[in-house]
Amino acid sequence: MNFKTIITLISTLILYPALNAQTETPLPSTKSNSIRVVIEKDKQAKFAVNTPIRREIELLDSLILRSTLDEEDLLFPADDLYSLWSNEFVHNHQNVVIPDSFQIDCSSYVAPFEGRVTSRFGPRRHRMHKGIDIKVEVGDTIVAAFDGKIRVRKFERRGYGYYLIIRHNNGLETVYGHLSEFLVEENDIVKAGQPIGLGGNTGRSTGSHLHFETRFLGIALNPEELIDFTNYVPHHDIYTFQKKKVTSLAYGNTDANGIVYHRVRSGETLSAIARKHGTSVSQLCKLNKLTTRSILRVGQRIRCN
């Protein structure tokens, strides 16, 4: 049953008793006669502002309006923050403006899976682990952390495996990696707590687990700063993002303007760097005045966005 059907039923329950109270004859049973009675009573009475039926009608109007606004938010989640909706790029947000601070509403959070954290955010084996790992078994149900819309549904053999990215109304994007199966399609609208996939051991993984990331405008945030993964609730209803605190620990850093840089390590290529940062070789060449034949030096600073 959809929202409009529910509203229709509620309005019927509210309008019929109110009309019965104002008329001496019973209400006819047919739909057309019911509509005629409402119209005729409205012509005669022009319901006073303070009458119960008028207040209930205004309540229904408010509920319908709020539902419409919620649906629009889900169709275009965080549209005021992001300049692009893409099902192709993972974390390529080149034209966004990083605010100095931003209030992120975490109050509606639902745990993707109530499991223990097995690996934390931060440097790991000479690379950056940009999320946390949650212990799951293959086939466990994974759910959406917040209301939002499925932006990416892909497979990455040497990385996330089968993974999903959801953009949320609160400005966050969440990543769900190493899944065994998808339960949603790209551009599907989902609610917090709705099943979106099954736990797995795909991609670059040594055991079944869920890789979970929280990102804001492409910037990886430590999920444990937002969420208490022991009690499965947010630390606070509102998390304040502050640009000056954002740093990237392993592969360079993000400057005060939100520009991400990468420090070249031994053996790295432009294509490898592009994959790590969700961009393309041509874009790296353009930003750094390089060509595809340029030789990279260990320690060289490469701009990535």
The angle formed by the CA atoms of residues 153, 154 and 159, to the nearest 5 degrees, is: 130
Whole-number pLDDT of residue 260: 76
Mean pLDDT by 10 residues, the chain (305 residues): 53 50 47 46 47 57 51 76 87 81 97 95 78 97 98 93 97 97 97 97 94 95 95 96 65 52 86 80 90 88 83
Helices 3-22 + 31-45 axis angle, to 10: 60
Both structure tokens of 247: 């740093």
User: How far is 219 from 269, CA to CA, in rounded Å?
Assistant: 22
pLDDT at 203: 94
Does the predicted model carry a pTM greater than 0.75? no
Q: Which pLDDT value is given to residue 164?
A: 98
pLDDT at 70: 54
Residue 284 contacts residue 72 (beta carbons within 8 Å): no
**Distance, CA of 208 to CA of 178 (rounded, Å):** 8
Residue 298 is predicted with a pLDDT of 86
3-state secondary structure 128-161: EECCEEEECCCCCEEECCCCEEEEEEEEECCCCE
Asked if 142 and 192 count as a contact pair (C-beta separation under 8 A), the reply is no
Q: Alpha-carbon distance 206 to 221, whole Å?
A: 24
Instruction: Note the Cα 240 to chain centre separation in Å.
Output: 17
Could you give the angle at the alpha carbon of 93 between the alpha carbons of 89 and 95, nearest 5°?
A: 135
The percent helix, strand, coil of the chain (3-state, each to 5) is: 25, 25, 45
Question: What domains are defined for the chain?
Answer: 3-75 (no CATH), 101-245 (2.70.70.10), 261-303 (3.10.350.10)
Phi and psi dihedrals of 301, rounded to 5? -95, 120
Are 149 and 187 spatial neighbours (Cβ–Cβ below 8 Å)? Answer: yes
Helix (H) / strand (E) containing 32: helix 31-45
